């Protein structure tokens, strides 16, 4: 971190600020006196230094961060990729992890039938919302507890680990018992109290990017979970809101290599919520694999036209099967990417 003092700041004030920063943090401060400006260079781990507090000093012109504000999710301090283990599967390792299933659990028949189909095509995890965050309170809100029970039945039938979304802190105990990967949806990415509580458990957390969240904000949310002691975090790019209205969101493919460079955490892509249109899922899923995603999350429904939620973006099992065949061919020529630490 570099503090730029206002021109002609009294040396006494500069020294006072240097001593204050050193006194409040485990850091040493170098004073660099130029012709016009005086700079303070903070040496050491400045992640916990409050830049705004320094900015509030009347002799400070600006404060520039040269280090990312996240530590635990930063590749700088953890050069190797994190591989999150879930039962006999993993996300972030050499294999592409595919999570597939309906937007929401609707009935036993529906979830079991889709689970069997996606497993046959090579999915390693079953998704399905039991508690649904809907824009309208009048839309289907999910089968709730019953939905969790049905996911468990589908898991018993297929052996596929379950990925499903949590909505609030009071659901944590139930989810720890029944769910293999706890999904934090886009709308809850900055529900910091929820993130803190999820940091206290060891279950893998799938953290989806908020609709207007920057990559840094996503990583800071991961940091909340990790700071509590839970390092099993998987990030998910699911499209961000832009001025474009043709698609539901805009898939930010550049976020994948960017996050892989900045962080050691696995990153998957959800092309279904990004596009909001079923026929775009296939090309976007392939693009995600090409740019180095560690996995995919895809909405698959056996009867999209009558789905209770997100039918327009759900692909049928047959289309999913063809997509998986294509992706397997792509993976056989997969480019091996090494992500070096960024020097700051
Ligand atoms: C979902 O995965 O069903 C979902 C609601 O996703 P998002 O939080 O990305 O909108
Ligand atoms: Mn959905």
Residue 334 has pLDDT above 60, yes or no: no
Is 216 in a helix, a strand, or coil? helix
For the entire predicted model, the pTM comes to 0.92
Whose tokens are 């879930």? That residue is 86
Position 344 scores a pLDDT of 44
Distance of alpha carbon 79 from alpha carbon 76, whole angstroms:
6
User: Are 160 and 20 contained in the same domain?
Assistant: no
Q: For residue 195, is it within any domain?
A: yes
User: Are 6 and 50 contained in the same domain?
Assistant: yes
Range of the domain at 129: 84-339
CATH of the domain at 7: 3.30.70.1140
Q: For residue 76, is it within any domain?
A: no
Distance of alpha carbon 300 from alpha carbon 219, whole angstroms:
28
Q: For residue 180, is it within any domain?
A: yes
User: Are 316 and 232 contained in the same domain?
Assistant: yes
Q: For residue 75, is it within any domain?
A: no
Find the 195 Cα to ligand 1 centroid distance in Å: 17
Report the residue among 238, 269, 297, 307 best suited for mutation to probe ligand 1: largest number of ligand atoms under 8 A from its CB: 238
Q: For residue 279, is it within any domain?
A: yes
**Mean pLDDT computed over 97-120:** 98
**pLDDT averaged over every residue in the chain:** 95
Res. 341 pLDDT band, cuts 50 70 90: low
135-189: pLDDT as tens digits? 999 999 999 999 999 999 999 999 999 999 999 999 999 999 999 999 999 999 9
> Dihedrals φ, ψ of 295, to 5°?
-175, 180
Structural domain count, the chain: 2
2-41: pLDDT as tens digits? 999 999 999 999 999 999 999 999 999 999 998 889 999 9
Position 304 scores a pLDDT of 98
Beta strands 89-91 and 267-269 are: unpaired
Find the 109 Cα to ligand 1 centroid distance in Å: 22
**Mean pLDDT computed over 116-120:** 98
**Which ligand 1 atom is at minimum distance from the Cα of 185?**
8
Q: For residue 283, is it within any domain?
A: yes
**Mean pLDDT computed over 245-257:** 98
Q: For residue 8, is it within any domain?
A: yes
* DSSP symbols for 237-276: E--B--S--SSSSB--TTHHHHHHHHBSS-EEE-HHHHH-
Q: Which residues contact 67 (CB under 8 A, 6 or more apart)?
A: 1, 45, 46, 47, 344
User: Are 123 and 23 contained in the same domain?
Assistant: no
Closest ligand by atom to 309 CA: 2
User: Are 94 and 165 contained in the same domain?
Assistant: yes
Report the residue among 102, 162, 164, 185 best suited for mutation to probe ligand 1: largest number of ligand atoms under 8 A from its CB: 185
Is 29 in a helix, a strand, or coil? strand
Local structure of residue 6 (DSSP, 8 states): P
Find the 234 Cα to ligand 2 centroid distance in Å: 18
- How big is the chain, counted in residues? 344
Lowest mean pLDDT of 105-114, 284-293, 330-339, name the range.
330-339
Find the 273 Cα to ligand 1 centroid distance in Å: 7
**Which ligand 1 atom is at minimum distance from the Cα of 188?**
8
Closest ligand by atom to 312 CA: 2
CATH of the domain at 249: 3.20.20.70
**Which ligand 1 atom is at minimum distance from the Cα of 310?**
3
Residue 268 has pLDDT above 90, yes or no: yes
How many angstroms separate the Cα of 344 from the Cα of each of 50, 78, 262, 341? Answer: 19, 15, 11, 9
Using CA atoms in the order 262, 267, 273, 277, what is the torsion angle rounded to 10 degrees?
A: 100
User: Are 193 and 148 contained in the same domain?
Assistant: yes
Looking at ligand 1, which residue's alpha carbon is closest to its atom 6? 185
Whole-number percent of the chain with pLDDT over 90:
91
Q: For residue 142, is it within any domain?
A: yes
Find the 186 Cα to ligand 1 centroid distance in Å: 6
Nearest to 168 by CA among 130, 195, 139, 137: 195
Whole-number percent of the chain with pLDDT over 70:
97
User: Are 229 and 302 contained in the same domain?
Assistant: yes
| Dihedral sign from CA coordinates of 79, 222, 99, 259 | negative
Position 66 scores a pLDDT of 87
Name all residues whose Cβ lies below 6 A of ligand 1.
103, 129, 133, 185-187, 208, 238, 273
User: Are 99 and 168 contained in the same domain?
Assistant: yes
For the chain, helix (H) and strand (E) counts, in that order, are 11, 14
């Amino acid at each position: 971190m570099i503090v730029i003092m206002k021109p002609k700041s009294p040396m006494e004030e500069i020294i006072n600020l240097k001593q204050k920063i050193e006194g409040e943090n485990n850091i040493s401060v170098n004073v660099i006196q130029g012709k016009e400006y005086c700079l303070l260079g903070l040496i050491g781990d400045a992640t916990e230094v409050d830049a705004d507090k320094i900015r509030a000093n009347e002799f400070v012109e600006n404060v520039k961060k040269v280090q990312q504000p996240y530590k635990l999710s930063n590749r700088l301090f953890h050069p190797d990729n994190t591989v999150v283990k879930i039962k006999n599967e993993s996300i972030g390792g050499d294999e592409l992890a595919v999570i597939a299933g309906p937007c929401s659990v609707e009935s036993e028949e529906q979830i079991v039938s889709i689970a069997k189909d996606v497993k046959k095509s090579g999915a390693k995890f079953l998704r399905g919302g039991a508690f649904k965050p809907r824009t309208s309170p009048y839309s289907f809100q999910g089968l709730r507890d019953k939905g969790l029970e049905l996911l468990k039945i589908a898991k018993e039938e297929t052996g596929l680990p379950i990925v499903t979304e949590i909505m609030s802190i009071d659901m944590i105990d139930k989810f720890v018992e029944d769910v293999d990967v706890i999904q934090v949806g886009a709308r809850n990415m900055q529900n910091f109290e929820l993130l803190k509580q999820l940091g206290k458990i060891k279950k893998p957390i799938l953290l989806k990017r908020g609709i207007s969240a920057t990559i840094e904000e996503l990583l800071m949310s991961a940091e909340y979970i990790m700071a509590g002691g839970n390092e099993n975090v998987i990030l998910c790019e699911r499209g961000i809101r832009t001025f474009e209205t043709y698609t539901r969101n805009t898939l930010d493919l550049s976020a994948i290599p960017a996050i892989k460079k900045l962080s050691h955490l696995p990153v998957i892509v959800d092309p279904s919520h990004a596009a909001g249109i079923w026929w775009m899922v296939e090309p976007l899923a392939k693009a995600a694999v090409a740019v180095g995603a560690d996995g995919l999350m895809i909405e698959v429904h056996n009867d999209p036209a009558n789905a209770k939620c997100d039918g327009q973006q759900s692909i049928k099992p047959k289309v999913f099967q063809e997509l998986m065949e294509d992706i397997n061919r792509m993976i056989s020529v997969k480019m091996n990417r090494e992500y070096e630490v960024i020097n700051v």
